[in-house]
């Protein structure tokens, strides 16, 4: 019983601390987020990186994703490409 409680608490602690990755550093670790804007907890992908990652995931194909999931990824890729076109002025108002 005691072992199981420890397991539950450990598992919960691990699970809830994962999203905070990168936010804190140990005593001897550099803070790459402050130093070089890398590994920040709130880091988000640029539009190019997002497109690159989506292409890479779609390439994995049926080996990893179900047809329904692939369709969702393809929709997201189309949306990201559309957003890039809009930012660059290829779609939408250009003035």
Residues that bind another protein (CB under 8 A): 1, 4-5, 7-8, 11-12, 15-16, 18-19, 44, 46-49, 72, 76, 83-84, 86-95
Closest CB to another protein among residues 19, 59: 19
Give the number of other CB atoms < 10 A from CB of residue 47.
Answer: 13
What letter does residue 19 receive in the DSSP assignment? Answer: G
Give the number of other CB atoms < 10 A from CB of residue 73.
Answer: 16
The helix (H) or strand (E) run that includes residue 73 is helix 67-87
Closest CB to another protein among residues 18, 27: 18
Closest CB to another protein among residues 29, 44: 44
């Amino acid at each position: 019983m005691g072992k199981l409680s420890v397991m539950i608490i450990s598992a919960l602690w691990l699970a809830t601390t994962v999203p905070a990755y990168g936010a804190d550093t140990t005593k001897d670790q550099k803070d790459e987020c402050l130093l070089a804007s890398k590994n920040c907890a709130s880091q988000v992908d640029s539009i190019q990186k997002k497109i690159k990652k989506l292409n890479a995931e779609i390439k994995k194909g049926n080996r990893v994703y179900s047809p329904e999931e692939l369709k969702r990824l393809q929709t997201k890729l189309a949306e990201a490409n559309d957003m890039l076109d809009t930012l660059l002025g290829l779609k939408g108002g250009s003035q």
